[in-house]
Amino acid sequence: MSITLENAGRRFNRDWIFRKISYTFQTGDSYAILGPNGSGKSTILQLLNGSLSPSEGKVSFLSAAKPIEAEHIFRYLSLAAPYLELIEDFTLNEVIDFHFKFKNWLPDLDKGKLIDLLGMQPHRNKLVRYFSSGMKQRLKLALAFGSATPILMLDEPTSNLDTQGVAWYLNLIEQFTANRLLIVCSNQEQEYSFCHHRLHITDYK
Nearest Cα residue to 190 out of 203, 171, 177, 205 = 171
SS3 sequence of 86-120: CCCCCEHHHHHHHHCCCCCECCCCCHHHHHHHHCC
Determine contact, residues 141/156, Cβ cutoff 8 Å.
no
Domains plus CATH for the chain? Answer: 2-204 (3.40.50.300)
**Count of other CB atoms within 10 angstroms of residue 4:** 16
Give pTM, 2 decimals: 0.95
Q: Is the dihedral of CA 158, 162, 163, 169 positive or negative?
A: negative
Q: Which pLDDT belongs to residue 134? A: 96
Q: What is the pLDDT of residue 65?
A: 86
The pLDDT of residue 31 is 98
**3-state SS, residue 44:** helix
* pLDDT tens per residue, range 140-191: 999 999 999 999 999 999 999 999 999 999 999 999 999 999 999 999 999 9
Note the pLDDT of residue 64.
Answer: 87
Q: Give the rounded percent of residues in the chain with a pLDDT score beyond 70.
A: 100
- The segments of the chain whose pLDDT lies below 70 read none
Q: What is the pLDDT of residue 81?
A: 95
Instruction: Say what the pLDDT of residue 205 is.
Output: 86
Q: Which of 32, 48, 54, 70 is nearest to 199 (CA)?
A: 32
